[in-house]
């Protein structure tokens, strides 16, 4: 079995295959030996589970997942990594590699086809350029998954895990909190990667809620409202919502008043329940 965090081993394998890192594909591979075992350990998986990994690199996390789970399906876009993975993961018989763009993958169909009723987890060191679209696709499509454990840039982690209504919260905080309970697991320094990125990272875990965190009758309106509200976070909620959502300003002002909020309230000061209350009120006023 290869030591996939040993710099000499990695350089030898990559060199032999003529592989060059692609910045545009977010290729920063983990070389700190403690990171992947800890990630796999804290992701909640066991020998009865299926795991989807996004982006294999040379398979350093894939191997740790495969040691602990029943089956690992890893989606990797870069064809040049396939012969490398064939070599580095050859000792495992429970790994399947799919050479595809995760954003073009029908994950619901994949889960049905590959995991045969097993509890399914997602675990990945995400390419940073697609962090938000991947997380939102995983959550919004209501996949039958238990938890998503991902490495993301530290700033993104802080935003995702911030309490709704706190200074750091934003549209993504509200959206994630609607579908999942997010928590920070541990920090990972830039020096843990090859090549080292400019910023530090953090591993977070999002446990999918069986039912959304709040009750909302009109989800489409709720998300339209909250995206507009956080899109221009320095403005008052009345101004940002009416400017960015297409909901008439008089409706927003009336709803804010009927909820008992200050007219100058800003979205970032509202809790999840208060945002839900505001969206319900707007819906009531619009639909009479």
Binding site for ligand SAM (CB under 6 A): 25-30, 54-57, 60-61, 75-78, 101-103, 125, 127, 130
Report in angstroms how near the CB of residue 51 gets to ligand SAM at its nearest.
Answer: 12
- CB closer to ligand SAM out of 77 and 174: 77
- CB closer to ligand SAM out of 26 and 244: 26
- How deeply is 255 buried, as exposed, middle or buried, from its count of CB atoms within 10 A (0-12, 13-18, 19+)? buried
- CB closer to ligand SAM out of 24 and 211: 24
Which tokens sit at 230?
Answer: 């956080």
Q: How many CA atoms lie within 13 A of 178 on its CB side?
A: 22
- CB closer to ligand SAM out of 125 and 242: 125
Report in angstroms how near the CB of residue 22 gets to ligand SAM at its nearest.
Answer: 7
- Residue 71: strand pairing partners: 50
Which tokens sit at 165?
Answer: 């209504």
Residue nearest to ligand SAM (CB): 55
Report in angstroms how near the CB of residue 204 gets to ligand SAM at its nearest.
Answer: 15
- CB closer to ligand SAM out of 77 and 202: 77
Work out the angle between the directed axes of helices 171-179 and 219-231 (0-180°, nearest 10): 150
Q: How many CA atoms lie within 13 A of 206 on its CB side?
A: 28
Report in angstroms how near the CB of residue 85 gets to ligand SAM at its nearest.
Answer: 10
Backbone angles phi, psi at 81, to 5 degrees: -85, -15
- CB closer to ligand SAM out of 81 and 221: 81
The three-state secondary structure class of 100 is coil
Report in angstroms how near the CB of residue 140 gets to ligand SAM at its nearest.
Answer: 17
Q: What is the 3-state secondary structure (H, E, C) of 159-177?
A: HHHCCCCCCCCCHHHHHHH
The three-state secondary structure class of 98 is strand
Report in angstroms how near the CB of residue 208 gets to ligand SAM at its nearest.
Answer: 21
- CB closer to ligand SAM out of 16 and 209: 16
- State the CB neighbour count (10 A cutoff) for residue 256: 22
The residues near 136 (Cβ < 8 Å, ≥ 6 apart) are 172, 175
Torsion of CA 67, 89, 152, 162, to 10 degrees: -20
Report in angstroms how near the CB of residue 46 gets to ligand SAM at its nearest.
Answer: 21
């Amino acid at each position: 079995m290869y030591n996939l965090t040993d710099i000499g081993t990695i350089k030898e394998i990559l060199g032999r295959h003529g592989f060059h890192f692609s910045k545009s594909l977010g290729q920063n591979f983990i070389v700190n030996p403690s990171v992947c075992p800890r990630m796999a350990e804290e992701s909640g998986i066991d020998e009865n589970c299926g795991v989807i990994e996004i982006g294999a690199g040379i398979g350093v996390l894939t191997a740790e997942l495969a040691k602990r789970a029943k089956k690992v399906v890893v989606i990797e876009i870069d064809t040049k990594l396939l012969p490398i993975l064939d070599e580095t993961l050859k000792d495992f018989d429970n790994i399947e590699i799919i050479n595809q763009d995760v954003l073009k993958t029908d994950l619901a169909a994949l889960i049905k086809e590959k995991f045969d009723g097993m509890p399914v987890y997602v675990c990945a060191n995400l390419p940073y350029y697609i962090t938000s679209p991947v997380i939102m696709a995983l959550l919004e499509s209501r996949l039958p998954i238990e938890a998503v454990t991902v490495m993301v840039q530290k700033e993104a982690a802080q935003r995702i895990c911030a309490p709704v209504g706190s200074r750091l919260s934003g549209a993504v905080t509200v959206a994630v909190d609607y579908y999942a309970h997010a928590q920070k697991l541990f920090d990972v320094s830039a020096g843990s990667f090859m090549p080292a990125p400019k910023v530090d990272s953090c591993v977070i875990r999002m446990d999918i809620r069986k039912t959304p965190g709040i009750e909302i009758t009109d989800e489409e309106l709720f998300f339209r409202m909250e995206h507009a509200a956080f899109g221009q976070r320095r403005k008052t909620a009345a101004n940002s919502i009416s400017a960015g959502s297409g909901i008439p300003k008089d409706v927003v002002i009336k709803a804010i008043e009927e909820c008992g909020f200050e007219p100058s309230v800003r979205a970032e000061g509202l809790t999840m329940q208060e945002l839900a209350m505001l969206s319900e009120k707007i819906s009531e006023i619009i639909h009479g």
